[in-house]
Amino acid sequence: MQVRVASMEDVKEARQSAAAGAQGRVFPTGMLKVFLGFLLLGVALSAVGMYMARHTLAAAAPALFRPCLGAWGSAAEEEPEGLERWTRPPDRVEHAMTDEELLWRASFAPRVRQYPFRRVPKMAFMFLTRGPLPLAPLWERFFRGHEDRYSIYIHALPSYRANFTSDSVFYRRQIPSKVAEWGQMTMCDAERRLLANALLDISNEWFVLVSESCIPIFDFNTTYQYLQNSSKSFLMAFDDPGPYGRGRLSLEFWNRSKALSCG
Q: Give the list of residues 6+ apart from residue 126 with CB closer than 8 angstroms, or none.
A: 153, 155, 191, 194, 195, 198, 207, 208, 209, 210
pLDDT of residue 55: 61
Secondary structure (3-state) at 125:
strand
Q: Is the pLDDT of residue 242 over 50?
A: yes
pLDDT band at 258; cut points 50, 70, 90: very low
Return the bridge partners of 207, or none. 124
Q: Give the list of residues 6+ apart from residue 213 with CB closer than 8 angstroms, or none.
A: 135
> What is d(CA 206, CA 89) in angstroms, rounded to the nearest whole number?
16
pLDDT of residue 75: 45
17-63 residue pLDDT tens = 655 555 555 556 767 777 777 777 777 777 777 777 666 655 555 55
pLDDT of residue 72: 45
95-134 residue pLDDT tens = 999 999 999 999 988 888 888 988 999 999 999 999 999 9
pLDDT band at 70; cut points 50, 70, 90: very low
Helices (H), 220-250: 220-229
